[in-house]
Amino acid sequence: MTTPDLKAMSRGRVIVVLDPLCEALSKERPLALLLIGSFAAACIFCLCLFDIPFLLGTSPFWNNPRGILPHSWADISTALSGYLYFQRDTWQWPLFHVDKLGAGTNIIFTDSIPWVALAGRLVFRATGVAVNLYGLWIAFCFTASAMTLTALVATLGQRNIAAAAMAAMTGLCMPALLARWGHMSLMAQFEIPLALIFYLRNQRGGNAWRLFLQGGALVWLALWTHAYLFVMAGAIVLATVAQATGNRALRGATAAMVLAGLGALTVGIMALSGYLQSGGALRAEGLGVFSMNLLSPFLPQRSGLFAALRNAMADGTGGQYEGFSYLGAGILMLLLMTLPWQLGKLRARLRRHPWMGLLFLGFTLFALSNIVFLGPVRLIDIPLPEKVVQFAAMFRSSGRFFWPVMYGIAALAIAAPIAFYGPRGALLLCLAMPLQWMDSAPLRQALAASARLPEKPHIDLTAWEAAIERHNSVRVLPQYACLGAPTAWDHEVAVQLQLLAARAGRPINTVYTARSAANCQADRHINGEPQPGARQLSVFLDKFSGFAHMQTLADTTDQCRTGPGIVICSDIPREAIALAALARTDRK
């Protein structure tokens, strides 16, 4: 038998083995079965990534938490502190206002995730036990990410094991999700595939009540998670109503009623929540800095497959980590292998979905901002009118707005192989899964290490929490918002004290919030000397205008003592002496 005959026989045997496997992997299955598989895979993933005490909110990580994002040492701590104050507070108006944090703060602005905070309060009211639910929240976000992306791919027509497995893998290992560890509210990216499912199921539907109820639930879900997710989900809901009207499934008058109802619901929820309670300006600096780099979706970054790019990130401004949107090697391979089919379908998709096409284009342009970078190279810099800048700066981290496009691309890439190649496309999906897994390994490893090995704090947390419990209130000067750029050790100390005061249930004057406002001028005129009987613990950081006076006072009275960069005062005998002796000297 000749060599070509042997090769043909071998090829035939491979086909005989693979074809039944491909048929089984590409055969349509019940959606419930696929979702159960995604749920099981996500549970195993979370148990491998996190230890049980982390998930139960009891591990040492939660004493001085930080993720892998810049500034996450403040983000997680302030979210947790807002949650702890709200958990034990009374019901009031607006719903999420707490009195003991700062001069009175709405925990929406501490990114405490209102849904989680409400659950925590209900558990506390029912049991009397203060529980930390954020570990379970993180696990829920990963599980929901796997399941919603599986459901999105199924809604696109691929209800089979191969597509569902790749969708679940992508939902768990989407680099942009893993890289958000440190900003717990924005781990809820599952709300984006959920919104896209809503669009696909309703863009030709004429049931106004269904549109209102499902759209309202989606808006409410996002509104009590994070403002950025609310804008993304809300825009998709509006595009759905517009597309249903364009498809003549809804009459214009009916669409107007649905929109009016959604608008009224949104305003009502905002009023109930206290969204307009922020004392600071809605705009923030950084528009054009916290944007998306043109290379971000496609250039391997934080990659486990390319050693040279293990720590790389496409960033031309120093803030484009906010626009990190790398799709992963598995998704990129699927896009490349189905590119002719995708391009062939593009015109028809845009014709059928003009409103979603326009929305995706708008999201992409806003993510890139008016200053566009290709790697380190500035390609475009378009000056904008000041009023436009003021409006756009309400969402200064514009790079995040590519996420709906990113999840849409990922879902289309997963849905394409079997539609293009037939059952043998399942082999491509099986190959893409390990690629996506290996490519995201550095981010997973960094996340797991962060959750298992907490950073050493600047102060003895156990001793300080016990001391705070012996006082009626805590005062930190300057307040966090008056400390300047958040890069020095004193910012971390202020946030650590904020969290400790929250654990002890004691009022504190300082708070780290989004869009914060503080009367820094008034702080400079505070005398600082302890008031007998007040039982107030005061911490003066070295940026306090009266710091020299407080150091002098510490030399003449037992009520105050000097530590490395701080002066501690208390009208309780010997408290200041003990705490100053415990202060660390390795300040950064």
Report the pLDDT averaged over residues 417-446. Answer: 96
- How many H-runs (helices) and E-runs (strands) does the chain carry? 24, 8
The predicted structure's pLDDT at residue 578: 82
Pairing label, strands 536-541, 473-477: parallel
- Cα–Cα distance measured from residue 308 to residue 291, given in angstroms and rounded to the nearest whole number: 24
- Cα–Cα distance measured from residue 585 to residue 588, given in angstroms and rounded to the nearest whole number: 9
The predicted structure's pLDDT at residue 14: 46
pLDDT digits (tens, 9 = 90+) for 21-78: 999 999 999 999 999 999 999 999 999 999 999 999 999 999 999 999 888 889 999 9
Report the pLDDT averaged over residues 369-389. Answer: 90
pLDDT at 502 over 80: yes
What is the token pair recorded at 334?
């699927």
The length of the chain is 588
Helix 425-439 to helix 3-26 angle, to the nearest 10 degrees? 80
Q: Which residues, 6 or more positions from 143, have their beta carbon under 8 angstroms from its beta carbon?
A: 39, 42, 43, 46
- Cα–Cα distance measured from residue 310 to residue 287, given in angstroms and rounded to the nearest whole number: 28
- For residues 360, 364, 365, 366, the Cα torsion angle rounded to the nearest 10 degrees is 100
DSSP of 131-154, one letter per residue? Answer: ---HHHHHHHHHHHHHHHHHHHHH
The predicted structure's pLDDT at residue 67: 92
Report the pLDDT averaged over residues 415-443. Answer: 96
Lowest-pLDDT choice from 104-113, 202-211, 577-586: 577-586
pTM of the predicted structure, to 2 decimals: 0.93
pLDDT at 280 over 70: no
Average pLDDT, the chain: 91
Task: Assign 487 a pLDDT band (cuts: 50, 70, 90).
Answer: low
How large a percentage of the chain has pLDDT more than 90? 74
Q: How many CB atoms lie within 10 A of CB 241?
A: 24
38 with 171: CB under 8 angstroms? yes
Token pair 């897994």 in the structure block, residue: 437
Task: Assign 154 a pLDDT band (cuts: 50, 70, 90).
Answer: very high
Write the burial class of residue 284 (CB in 10 Å: 0-12 exposed, 13-18 middle, 19+ buried): middle
Task: Assign 386 a pLDDT band (cuts: 50, 70, 90).
Answer: confident
The predicted structure's pLDDT at residue 483: 87
- Cα–Cα distance measured from residue 177 to residue 324, given in angstroms and rounded to the nearest whole number: 9
